[in-house]
Structure 1
């Protein structure tokens, strides 16, 4: 049977595709432009997006398991609900959905609230799903590495509560493990949630210290000015997204992204190896400059 991956060309989705292929899965990928997809041989590429109802119906035909990843866009919630309704019409019972940790706590942050709404719909519609709830992606900080390297400042206002940052490669592998587990089960498995976190819960000062160690010079934490963060982000992102990200950072300050007891051990057991750390990431960047 076939596993359909949405968001297959993005950071997480591509890792999911690679990990599924490594496990011998029959993979179909939904992409906007097949000519630019650059996916491995063996992946069946179908053209479409989550608002193209006809394309989605065609993409879902013959699919047994779905990896549902929605980008952070203004109509993210609508995209997800259309996909779930079309999946149900197609008889797809097995789903792995990419949500976010604390989606039920960060209730004023648009993309968190939207994902929590999708979680509720998965339950109400009776889907057999794994809901993955990842923390902040370590990989996000590739976008600010030039600030760290060039100005000696870690600019993300992540606060003092701590974030258990996760490497997207680990997330992709965990998603693939769950997709294959559900795909190969003789009967659909019950709904469950998994917090996908990194091995360390780090504050802004902690992260600056890790960069200092990796680079051999002092890197300062820029502090918790979320308003300045929003204004800076508006230089390269839409105003709605800049505000969304500011609201998220404000919840970093008040709530953090802190694992529950047993989360890290559960993930290590699933992977059969240690989780990748932020220190691994910073050391890799430092070695490349």
Structure 2
């Protein structure tokens, strides 16, 4: 009984692999370059790509459960559909798919719309899967820590409605728990989807306040500027990606990322402990302990 993890060397996938190994699972990781994988001892490595059907067929051989994570790329939709179809062909009936919270609300944001369409395929084709819908990751803010600590500004335009941010380590552990629940069930379990959120719903001003407390000096939230956000992103990523991120930030501002009643309690029960807080993340970043 083997669990295959795609996206195994990324922020979330690596946590999923770690948690599965910790729980004694038989883990196989799909990676493009095995020489750079640096995964835990005992993890089987399958070299391949989500657009390479032959490599997928080889990687999926003998697999009972699949964790499907697709990166935000221009061909994300094709990658997901190819992987799911090859999984069906290979007889894999136990799947955990990583979508995104409010995929059905942020309908104009390309990578949200892609994930919602993949969800619809899973549902329409009767695929046995859990669809995880995580909120914004704390870990995204690691790329701006220098701006926060060096300039006293929290620059992410997340608005005033609030985001129920989640730590990628918690998400990885929740995904691993769900993969093993499906793996160990006597028969494939029916479709299920649920939100993966953090313990608090935070605004831009809230987060600036947390950083102010952690650093012991003022950090300000300069306000909502999606256009400026896009312009900054275009300096180090393709224009279409920067525009996608701008559209996402506009929906942060207009809609937020809000949990449903009971979401936090459900996740806390799954983990058997409290969810990590953004304040914990900020403290770890300052201490360099993550």
User: Would you say 1:11 and 2:8 are equivalent positions?
Assistant: no
TM-score using structure 1 length = 0.99
CA distance in 1 between counterparts of 2:277 and 2:167 reads 7
Number of equivalent positions:
289
Does structure 2 retain, via aligned residues, the 8 Å contact 1:7–1:30?
A: yes
Query: Corresponding residue for 2:245?
Result: 245
Q: 1:40 offset after TM fit, Å?
A: 0.9
Query: Corresponding residue for 2:217?
Result: 217
* CA RMSD between the two structures: 0.8
CA distance in 1 between counterparts of 2:49 and 2:98 reads 17
Q: 1:248 offset after TM fit, Å?
A: 0.2
Query: Corresponding residue for 2:105?
Result: 105
TM-score using structure 2 length = 0.99
Q: 1:287 offset after TM fit, Å?
A: 2.7
Q: Deviations over 1:158-208 (max 9, x none)?
A: 000000000000000000000000000000111111100000000000000
- Decide whether aligned partners of structure 1 residues 153 and 78 sit closer, same or farther in structure 2, where only a CA change above 3 A counts: same
Q: 1:222 offset after TM fit, Å?
A: 1.8
User: Would you say 1:146 and 2:146 are equivalent positions?
Assistant: yes
Q: Which ranges in structure 1 are unaligned for 5 or more consecutive residues?
A: none
Q: 1:122 offset after TM fit, Å?
A: 0.6
Q: Which ranges in structure 2 are unaligned for 5 or more consecutive residues?
A: none
The 5-angstrom pairing of residues 176-195 of structure 1 reads 176-195=176-195
Does structure 2 retain, via aligned residues, the 8 Å contact 1:3–1:63?
A: yes
Q: 1:125 offset after TM fit, Å?
A: 1.3
Q: Deviations over 1:25-74 (max 9, x none)?
A: 10000000001101111100010110011000100111000000000000
CA distance in 2 between counterparts of 1:143 and 1:126 reads 39
Moved over 4 A (4+): none
Q: 1:84 offset after TM fit, Å?
A: 0.5
The 5-angstrom pairing of residues 43-58 of structure 1 reads 43-58=43-58
Does structure 2 retain, via aligned residues, the 8 Å contact 1:156–1:222?
A: no
